[in-house]
């Protein structure tokens, strides 16, 4: 089992900056050819390029189930795209032993006009299955997706749930030695997600190598044995899942996050932390701090912070002006507003913080165009068992009690 499944050596990928500019017009070519003699070569290569991956080297053994974690833009998806041969590395190389199946998106190549049956064949072929293989697994796929009745209906008439189930069903039956999975389990309802996790676990148990990318840290912990942590295109940690993920989470809570701009504000950092530990646990005393400056004078600064689930369901919110008022802010002056929460009532899982900044004097409200994720660590909340989705997101400081009442009294109550 110690045979190497994936080996990356100094993988690097360079992208041109400005993600919006996807293709060039002919006139750009003409003008750049015309300008070529006057251009200094070096500056063009250096400016406007971004290393999405830099010197990434690691080895994954056969049968390992490895999670790849990191912020947005850390290079997770780029790494998966290179390993699944969709895009080429700029430098370095990688070797993969065995067939590779990649699941970068659920339902790639599904055509709305075609029926469920037709799409299974088409999607299977696109994912690299042979026709005979699809035929053999056809019934299994249909049963997994629970779409028996609608198998000859065009998928454009499917509900989104059915669509996702069918798409994942095909993908889950890929029998490659190496499987690359990107964030696809984030779709579908809770029950189906559970089914997908179970299927993934099953796949992992069959000795196949899985590389799994997800923002859902709880899912990564659940499925994976090992983790690779990426940060700004580099591998910063690799090892046993819980240790590595804890280390990563501890790091993101103290790390300075890059500044984000809105029309009138610049947010320099958003933090949520506890005093005594790098990891946030249910019922911890936590502080949420937001540092920002106004681009012009802000006469009456305001802040609204809300906490959302990963499915963007708003759990709760806090508005600064309900508590107190903040002093006026001169242009370019940084201020910090925040809240102390005595006992964070969130069950283990990943959440996101959404920020609105305001200038009450100008009736100005601006939403910060990114969310800040944080993780409430997996700990024993009630009794020590692992809480499922049935418990929701909110933690209650509760005690259970019991008592025996005599039956005649109980009868008296009901009368």
HSE of 64, CA atoms in CB hemisphere, 13 A: 23
For the bound state, the minimum distance from the C-beta of residue 169 to another protein, rounded and expressed in Å, comes to: 17
- CB of residue 62 vs another protein: minimum separation in angstroms? 13
DSSP labels for 96-139? Answer: E-S-EEEESSTTTT--TTSBHHHHHHHHHHHTT--HHHHHHHHH
Closest CA to 70 of 257, 280, 214: 214
Task: Between 182 and 378, name the residue whose CB sits nearer to another protein.
Answer: 182
Smaller CB separation from another protein, 137 or 358? 137
Q: In 3-state terms, what secondary structure has residue 187?
A: coil
Least distance to another protein from the beta carbon of 146, Å? 24
DSSP assignment letter at 307: E
Residue nearer to another protein on the CB measure, 129 or 200? 129
Pick between residue 78 and residue 244 the one whose CB is nearest to another protein.
78
At 303, is the secondary structure helix, strand, or coil?
Answer: strand
CB 94, min distance to another protein, A: 4
For residue 396, the tally of other CB atoms under 10 A from its CB is 13
Compute the least distance from the CB of residue 28 to another protein, in Å: 8
119/282 with CB nearer another protein: 119
The residue (of 228 and 387) whose beta carbon lies closer to another protein is 228
- Between 130 and 285, whose beta carbon lies closer to another protein? 130
- Cα gap 3→245, rounded to integer Å: 25
Per the CB < 8 A criterion, the answer to whether 217 and 350 are in contact is yes
CA 187 to chain centre: 11
What is the token pair recorded at 313?
Answer: 């369901």
Q: How far is the CB of 6 from another protein (least distance, A)?
A: 10
Q: Closest approach of Cβ 366 to another protein, in Å?
A: 33
φ and ψ at residue 160, rounded to 5 degrees: -65, -30
Task: Give 193-257 as a DSSP string.
Answer: HHHHHHHHHHHHHTT-EEEEE-S-HHHHHHH-SEEEEEETTEEEEEEEHHHHHHHHHHHHHHSPP
Interface with another protein by CB under 8 A: which residues? 15, 22-26, 29, 81-98, 100, 102, 104-105, 108-109, 111, 113-114, 118, 121-122, 125-128, 130-131
Q: b or e along 172-201 (b: 16 or more beta carbons within 10 Å of the residue's beta carbon)?
A: bbbebbbbbbbbbbebbeeebbebbeebbe
Cβ distance to another protein smaller for residue 16 or 39: 16
d(CA 140, CA 187): 21
- Nearer to another protein by Cβ, of 156 and 330: the residue is 156
Question: Taking the complex as a whole, how short is the minimal distance between the CB of residue 128 and another protein, in angstroms?
Answer: 7
129, 174 contact by CB (below 8 A): yes
- Minimum Å gap between C-beta 56 and another protein is 12
């Amino acid at each position: 089992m110690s045979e190497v499944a994936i080996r990356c050596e100094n993988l690097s990928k360079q992208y041109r900056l400005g993600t919006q500019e996807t293709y060039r017009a002919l006139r750009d070519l003409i003008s750049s050819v015309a300008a070529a003699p006057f251009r200094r070569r070096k500056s063009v290569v250096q400016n406007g390029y971004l290393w999405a991956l830099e010197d990434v080297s690691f080895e994954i053994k056969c049968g390992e189930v490895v999670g790849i974690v990191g912020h947005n833009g850390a290079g997770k998806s780029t790494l998966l795209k290179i390993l699944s041969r969709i895009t080429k590395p700029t430098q370095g190389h990688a070797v993969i032993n065995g067939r590779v199946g990649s699941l970068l998106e659920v339902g790639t190549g599904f055509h709305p006009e075609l029926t469920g049956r037709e799409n299974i064949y088409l999607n299977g072929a696109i994912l690299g299955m042979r026709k005979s293989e699809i035929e053999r697994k056809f019934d299994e796929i249909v049963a997994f997706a629970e779409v028996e009745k609608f198998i000859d209906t065009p998928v454009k008439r499917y509900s989104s749930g059915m669509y996702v189930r069918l798409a994942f069903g095909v993908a889950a039956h890929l029998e490659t030695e190496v499987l690359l999975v990107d964030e696809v389990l984030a779709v579908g309802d809770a029950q189906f997600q559970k089914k997908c996790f179970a299927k993934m676990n099953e796949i992992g148990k069959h000795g196949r190598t899985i590389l799994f990318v997800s923002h859902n840290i709880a899912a990564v912990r659940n499925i994976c044995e090992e983790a690779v942590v990426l940060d700004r295109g580099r591998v910063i940690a690799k090892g046993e899942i819980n240790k590595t993920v804890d280390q990563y989470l501890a790091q993101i809570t103290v790390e300075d996050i890059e500044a984000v701009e809105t029309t009138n504000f610049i947010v320099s950092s958003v933090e949520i932390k506890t005093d005594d530990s790098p990891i946030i646990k249910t019922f911890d005393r936590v502080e949420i701090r937001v540092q920002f400056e106004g681009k012009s004078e802000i006469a009456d600064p305001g802040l609204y912070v809300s906490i959302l689930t990963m499915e963007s369901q708003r759990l709760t919110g806090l508005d600064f002006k309900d508590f107190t008022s903040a002093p006026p802010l001169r242009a370019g002056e940084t201020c910090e507003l925040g809240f102390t929460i005595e006992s964070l009532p969130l069950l283990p899982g990943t959440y996101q913080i959404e920020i609105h900044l305001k200038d009450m004097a100008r009736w100005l409200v601006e939403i910060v165009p990114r969310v800040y994720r944080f993780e409430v660590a997996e700990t024993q909340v009630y009794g020590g068992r692992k809480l499922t989705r049935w418990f929701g997101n909110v933690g209650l400081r509760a005690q259970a009690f019991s008592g025996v009442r005599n039956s005649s009294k109980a009868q008296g109550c009901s009368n």
